[in-house]
Amino acid sequence: MARTTSRYVCQNCGASYPKWSGKCDACGEWNTLVEEQATESVPKGLGKGQGRKIEFVALSGVSKDAPRRMTGIQEFDRVCGGGLVNGSALLVGGDPGIGKSTLLLQVTCCLAQETRCAYISGEEAVDQVRMRAARLGLVNAPVALAAANNVRDIIASLEAADGPQVAVIDSIQTMYIDTLDSAPGTVAQVRACASELIRVAKKRGITLLIVGHVTKDGQIAGPRVLEHMVDTVLYFEGERGHQFRILRAVKNRFGPTDEIGVFEMGEDGLVEVPNPSELFLADRRRDITGTAVFAGLEGTRPVLVEVQALVAPSPLGTPRRAVVGWDSSRLAMVLAVLEARCGVAIGANDVYLSVAGGLKISEPAADLAVAAALVSSLTGEPVPADAVVFGEIGLSGEIRAVSQTDQRLKEAAKLGFNRALMPQPRRSRGGGSADGLGRVELDHLTDLLPLFQADVPPRPPRGRE
């Protein structure tokens, strides 16, 4: 017989505990445990019923490519891996107000000319969505619009004969299933609603676009509890203060991950930015100290961004390390290598590091650009304005080769750079590449220091034979 017990579920990551505590041990968030009633059914085992033999097939064989719908918004199509796959579920996560509803309204309006699209809003009234559409200049798109929260009703509408082929659920935290006791937005509701909707979508070949808010206070379940259920997870990055919005694929069963789409939030909604490097470098000032242009790679696309560093004497006993857009433990590593292997004394200084434009870089190839920006800020010598920098730094200070060097160099040449400070390639290809860029190949981090003529604090380098 089913037994009802209560348990405490973290609203951030979904971990459940038999007892309440202030902190979730799984994700480290505070005050996120909420009591939920759980029906625990006793496992019954298989019993007597006979199973059916599964038909196995060979690994080789002809499979059709997943049929896709292109939205025509190229930045969005690329992030999805080349359009929306029929019968797939896609989660769009991000902070409130970052532009999820705007993007999905634009996507449905673009698709609506050829496909039956429905936009189901649980957050906004029909009039509000209409007003937004008017603002975006999309009022005439044949999108079916509804304000609804009850998943039972939504499923009935999806299963109707004239039901939509593409449906937006905005947002999953406002939906509820009436047989569950918990409030909308709790982990139990969010999971149950999503799994019911996804089941129907798969059955009927509907493309389901789910909006999930990233929440800070822990009262509502975040989109992370859904990541394993959907086929594709896209997150909006960027600050609301910036006008740039970066959509990143963190999971994709139908395409590559780490692909980014760059948009600009303007008067009439999100506008695509086809060449993000130009945008990220637009505000760059030449010949100032503490900046380096990193030739990075986001998904399949090369992107140039400016890395800025400030090294300033610290009034505090424990100097500050503040990082925006990069990994702070990676910064600590670069600082340690500079100090221990190259004899650059940074210790008693505050260090601030920021990636201009709101992009979050996760590539280790940015190490060398960070090191160049740091050394430049420390010595007061600018990194050559016509140079891009990339390369991974190892713990002994060696500079390691990174992937897709050619693509990075080509993008740099396209944007008018003349030089690249870069690692020695893994193997020499013979013959220069077509980009025409001067290459300054560095073997060890100490090779970087002579490029900054001013005196580097005199301490003998250690650890290098």
Nearer to ligand TYD, 265 or 297 (CB): 265
Q: Which does 330 bind (CB under 5 to 8 A by kind): ligand TYD, Mg ion, none?
A: none
CB of 215 to Mg ion, least distance (A): 13
Q: Which does 456 bind (CB under 5 to 8 A by kind): Mg ion, ligand TYD, none?
A: none
Contact 212, 226 (CB under 8 A): yes
Nearer to ligand TYD, 233 or 334 (CB): 233
CB of 111 to ligand TYD, least distance (A): 17
- The string of DSSP codes covering 229-267 is TSSEEEEEES-TTSSEEEEEEEEETTS-SS-EEEEEEET
CB of 89 to ligand TYD, least distance (A): 18
Q: Which does 207 bind (CB under 5 to 8 A by kind): ligand TYD, Mg ion, none?
A: none
Report how far residue 172's alpha carbon sits from residue 151's, in angstroms, rounded to the nearest whole number: 10
Nearer to ligand TYD, 138 or 420 (CB): 138
Nearer to ligand TYD, 91 or 337 (CB): 91
Contact 90, 230 (CB under 8 A): yes
Report how far residue 394's alpha carbon sits from residue 94's, in angstroms, rounded to the nearest whole number: 34
Which pair of structure tokens corresponds to residue 106? 């634009």
Q: Which does 93 bind (CB under 5 to 8 A by kind): ligand TYD, Mg ion, none?
A: none
Which pair of structure tokens corresponds to residue 54? 């599964």
171 cis-preceded (ω within 30 degrees of 0)? yes
Chain mean position to CA 453: 38
User: Distance between terminal CA atoms of the chain?
Assistant: 72
φ, ψ (nearest 5 deg) of residue 345 = -90, 110
Nearer to ligand TYD, 71 or 102 (CB): 102
Q: Characterise 174 by phi-psi region: left (phi > 0), alpha (psi -120 to 50), beta (else).
A: alpha
Nearest to 450 by CA among 346, 372, 364: 372
Nearer to ligand TYD, 88 or 171 (CB): 171
Chain mean position to CA 229: 18
CB of 103 to Mg ion, least distance (A): 10
Q: Which does 153 bind (CB under 5 to 8 A by kind): ligand TYD, Mg ion, none?
A: none
In terms of DSSP H, where are the helices of 165-212?
A: 187-204
Report how far residue 172's alpha carbon sits from residue 189's, in angstroms, rounded to the nearest whole number: 9
Which pair of structure tokens corresponds to residue 32? 């996120």
Q: What dihedral angle (degrees, nearest 10) is formed by the CA atoms of 404, 410, 416, 419?
A: 60
Q: Which does 98 bind (CB under 5 to 8 A by kind): ligand TYD, Mg ion, none?
A: ligand TYD
CB of 240 to ligand TYD, least distance (A): 7
Q: Of the ranges 21-29, 37-45, 99-107, 416-424, which one interacts with Mg ion (CB under 5 A)? A: 99-107
Nearer to ligand TYD, 233 or 344 (CB): 233
CB of 12 to ligand TYD, least distance (A): 19
**101 binds Mg ion, rule: CB under 5 A:** yes
Contact 210, 90 (CB under 8 A): yes
**CB proximity list for 143: less than 8 A, separation 6 or greater:** 105, 108, 109, 112, 117, 118, 119, 133
Q: Which does 78 bind (CB under 5 to 8 A by kind): Mg ion, ligand TYD, none?
A: none
Nearer to Mg ion, 131 or 454 (CB): 131
**Residue nearest to Mg ion according to CB distances in the complex:** 101
CB of 167 to Mg ion, least distance (A): 16
| Burial (0-12, 13-18, 19+ Cβ within 10 Å), 40 | exposed
How many residues at the interface with Mg ion, by CB under 5 A? 1
**CB proximity list for 161: less than 8 A, separation 6 or greater:** none
Q: Which does 87 bind (CB under 5 to 8 A by kind): ligand TYD, Mg ion, none?
A: none
Q: Which does 269 bind (CB under 5 to 8 A by kind): Mg ion, ligand TYD, none?
A: ligand TYD
Q: Of the ranges 93-101, 142-150, 267-275, 363-371, which one interacts with Mg ion (CB under 5 A)? A: 93-101
Q: Which does 102 bind (CB under 5 to 8 A by kind): Mg ion, ligand TYD, none?
A: ligand TYD
CB of 294 to ligand TYD, least distance (A): 28
**CB proximity list for 447: less than 8 A, separation 6 or greater:** 399
Nearer to ligand TYD, 268 or 443 (CB): 268
Nearer to Mg ion, 129 or 187 (CB): 129
CB of 130 to Mg ion, least distance (A): 14
CB of 235 to Mg ion, least distance (A): 15
Sign of CA dihedral 73, 78, 83, 85: negative
Q: Which residues bind ligand TYD (CB under 6 A)?
A: 94, 96-102, 132, 135-136, 265, 267-269
Contact residues for Mg ion (CB under 5 A)? 101
